[in-house]
Structure 1
Amino acid sequence: MTEGNQTVISWFLLLGLPIPPERQHLFYALFLAMYLTTVLGNLLIIILIQLDSHLHTPMYSLLSNLSFSDLCFSSVTMPKLLQNMQSQDPSIPYAGCLAQMYFFLLFGDLESFLLVAMAYDRYVAICFPLRYTSIMSPKLCVGLVVLSWVLTTFHAMLHTLLMARLSFCDNNVIPHFFCDMSALLKLSCSDTHVNELVIFITGGLILVIPFVLIVVSYARIVSSILKVPSARGIRKAFSTCGSHLSVVSLFYGTVIGLYLCSSGNPSTVKESVMAITYTMVTPMLNPFIYSLRNRDMKRALGRVICKKKMMV
């Protein structure tokens, strides 16, 4: 398609991962196994929470939404990567690229907000145990989830609309395995100052502020524990917050490593590894972290299995 003397791009080519051709099949099998594990693991958590009445609490309601977010987040990039590796066709249409960017931002941001809500839930549970039921009411829990969806939808739509106004002329090769927003901005032949300004402003709101709120919540938790130090209280705090802290460390550690500590080169092995960790490994490990370190989830799984056996 042409516009004046410029060729307007309607397709992009995803460069993919720097994998030698002789190892393509090995990595394809690895990534497929990771994706299937992510889907099955997160689905298991969602189903357990729905089936077991003991898990119908604010904490597990938020966890169910987090698992759904992880499942969708991984599904934004993994199927296309697997398809490209299998067919050796790295093309993606312009509309498909914008759609992938939109859902990538949506579910990535949603995870950040849900982790904040879960940190607040743990803060109330430990610092105000007698008022936990009244503070973390079902109404508040639903409100936190709805607010998270509204804010992330607005943020993702804002960046997608700003990206849609840009023109892409000569270079259509994206040095990544998905339509990363920063990579697309570097390919544009339009003025991207507005996009970069919005990224700078909203980046603090979406990532920095939630991270600070989580740190403040856990600082208050630690302060509350130190006021009445006891081995039992410390064990309870670790059992209550250990899984969430592990997920927060994994999520924000990879995000900071990818977007704040990356080199200036658009495509490096280090950045590819960080992107894989952020988009594939983190959603896959979250179910294991919550199931292996959470007694309630283990008991719920045991109850569900026992019910199935009794029905048989």
Structure 2
Amino acid sequence: MCEENQTQITEIHLLGFRGLYKYKIPLFIVFLLTYTLILGGNLIIILLVSTTDHLKTPMFIFLKHLSIADVLLTTSVVPMMLHIILFEGGTLPLWVCILQLYSFGIFGFVQCYIIVIMSYDRYLAICHPLHYSSLIGPDLCLQLVLGSWSLVTVLTSAEFFVSIQFNFCGMNYVDHFFCDFGPTTELVTSDISSFLLQDFVYSILMMLFPFALIILSYFCIFLAILKMSSATSKRKAFSTCSSHLTTVCVYYGTLIAVYMTSSEERTSDINKYRSLLYIVVTPLINPFIYSLRNHEIKRALMKVQMCRGFENGWKT
């Protein structure tokens, strides 16, 4: 219960980008265009992998689900952010704020697991090429993807049902453009020490543990590449994992930039702008990483363009 001089919070007011609202129209246009590119790029990959036979391989199946997580993560934040920019702030019910926080967490943590599954796929392709097809097939791909979504959803939902029982009293504003974990938990007046410990353990399971597995996978991959006698074989092996390695560096680089900082920085405006790295920058560049550096994606795009050309020529 709240104290006598405090009121129960039922709504959260998001302050957004204070000090930049004189540029709200350019900001709105930039983020709207960025969001459109994110949707377009990732939906193209999802469509290509779903409809093109030669892309229905484990690596591209995992890439499709990474794109799905990118779209969902960005969509959980950016539409509200656009509203906040346009109207210089926004208000939403407390339960919606908590729901946004945990839906954002689900989509972000799922990315960690899908990226580690992709690194395992590259490990099998380079270290066990002769047995690759028998080691990872369509059924195992589906099990790994569904297992990732299920595990993250169960763990995150457990936190969600704990958090909705907290008392939120006093001030009801969050100096952010979405309900991020740190600013939102600052509004809680209940004892959350055990909850923070639980969140720390979950963060290890869903962020640090996958990252450790990725490092282990690439350690084995690099050892296998070094043992190759042919320079051509080494280049081919590096090229097969270059796109994924770029994604790993970008994704975990942005997480480190946001969360591996001092507590003072995490509560400052700097962290607010750093959050844009994994909310809009990473989902934006992932499709370009794979489309520009992958011959199979290029081939599928050219095939679609040729089919459209033939259809247009036949109609005329």
Q: Same fold (TM over 0.5)?
A: yes
- Equivalent AA in structure 1 for residue 258 of structure 2: L
Q: Contact (CA 8 Å) 1:18, 1:269: kept in 2 or not? A: no
- Equivalent AA in structure 2 for residue 74 of structure 1: T
> Which residue in 2 is equivalent to 1:270?
270
> Which residue in 2 is equivalent to 1:80?
80
- Equivalent AA in structure 1 for residue 110 of structure 2: L
Looking at structure 1, the residues matched to 87 and 175 of structure 2 have their Cα atoms a distance apart, in angstroms, of 18
After superposition, the C-alpha distances for 1:233-255 in whole angstroms (9 at most, x for unaligned) are 22112221111111111111111
- Equivalent AA in structure 1 for residue 62 of structure 2: L
Looking at structure 1, the residues matched to 70 and 86 of structure 2 have their Cα atoms a distance apart, in angstroms, of 24
Q: Contact (CA 8 Å) 1:127, 1:221: kept in 2 or not? A: yes
> Which residue in 1 is equivalent to 2:53?
53
Structure 2 gap ranges (5+): none
Looking at structure 2, the residues matched to 84 and 262 of structure 1 have their Cα atoms a distance apart, in angstroms, of 27
> Which residue in 1 is equivalent to 2:290?
290
Q: Contact (CA 8 Å) 1:7, 1:170: kept in 2 or not? A: yes
Give 1:263 shift. Answer: 4.0
Looking at structure 2, the residues matched to 186 and 288 of structure 1 have their Cα atoms a distance apart, in angstroms, of 37
Looking at structure 2, the residues matched to 95 and 252 of structure 1 have their Cα atoms a distance apart, in angstroms, of 29
> Which residue in 2 is equivalent to 1:103?
103
Tell me the SS of whatever aligns to 2:76: helix
Looking at structure 2, the residues matched to 141 and 103 of structure 1 have their Cα atoms a distance apart, in angstroms, of 24
- Equivalent AA in structure 1 for residue 152 of structure 2: T
- Equivalent AA in structure 2 for residue 151 of structure 1: L
> Which residue in 2 is equivalent to 1:306?
306
Tell me the SS of whatever aligns to 2:225: helix
After superposition, the C-alpha distances for 1:201-245 in whole angstroms (9 at most, x for unaligned) are 111111111000001001000000111242212211222111111
Runs of 4+ in 1 over 6 A off after TM superposition: none
> Which residue in 2 is equivalent to 1:8?
8
Looking at structure 2, the residues matched to 233 and 19 of structure 1 have their Cα atoms a distance apart, in angstroms, of 54
> Which residue in 1 is equivalent to 2:154?
154
- Equivalent AA in structure 2 for residue 77 of structure 1: V
Percent sequence identity over aligned pairs? 38
Give 1:106 shift. Answer: 0.6
> Which residue in 1 is equivalent to 2:125?
125
Give 1:27 shift. Answer: 1.2
- Equivalent AA in structure 2 for residue 39 of structure 1: L
After superposition, the C-alpha distances for 1:42-78 in whole angstroms (9 at most, x for unaligned) are 0000111112111011111110000000001000100
Tell me the SS of whatever aligns to 1:92: strand
> Which residue in 1 is equivalent to 2:91?
91
Looking at structure 1, the residues matched to 247 and 142 of structure 2 have their Cα atoms a distance apart, in angstroms, of 22
> Which residue in 1 is equivalent to 2:43?
43
Identify if the C-alpha distance between structure 1 residues 183 and 225 changes in structure 2 by more than 3 Å, giving closer, same or farther. same
Give 1:307 shift. Answer: 1.5
Tell me the SS of whatever aligns to 1:29: helix
> Which residue in 2 is equivalent to 1:167?
167
Q: Contact (CA 8 Å) 2:12, 2:173: kept in 1 or not? A: yes
Give 1:4 shift. Answer: 6.8
Most deviating of 106-115 and 226-235: 226-235
Looking at structure 1, the residues matched to 212 and 14 of structure 2 have their Cα atoms a distance apart, in angstroms, of 35
> Which residue in 1 is equivalent to 2:216?
216
Root mean square deviation, CA, Å: 1.5
- Equivalent AA in structure 1 for residue 16 of structure 2: G
- Equivalent AA in structure 1 for residue 257 of structure 2: G
- Equivalent AA in structure 2 for residue 217 of structure 1: S
Q: Contact (CA 8 Å) 1:52, 1:304: kept in 2 or not? A: no
Identify if the C-alpha distance between structure 1 residues 309 and 109 changes in structure 2 by more than 3 Å, giving closer, same or farther. same
Give 1:171 shift. Answer: 1.2
Tell me the SS of whatever aligns to 1:59: helix
Tell me the SS of whatever aligns to 2:13: strand
Give 1:257 shift. Answer: 1.5
> Which residue in 1 is equivalent to 2:183?
183
> Which residue in 2 is equivalent to 1:142?
142
Identify if the C-alpha distance between structure 1 residues 229 and 24 changes in structure 2 by more than 3 Å, giving closer, same or farther. farther
- Equivalent AA in structure 2 for residue 269 of structure 1: D
Give 1:287 shift. Answer: 0.5
Structure 1 gap ranges (5+): none
1:24 aligns with 2:24: yes
After superposition, the C-alpha distances for 1:150-181 in whole angstroms (9 at most, x for unaligned) are 11101221221121111111011112111112
Q: Report the number of matched residues.
A: 311
- Equivalent AA in structure 2 for residue 258 of structure 1: V
Most deviating of 134-143 and 21-30: 21-30
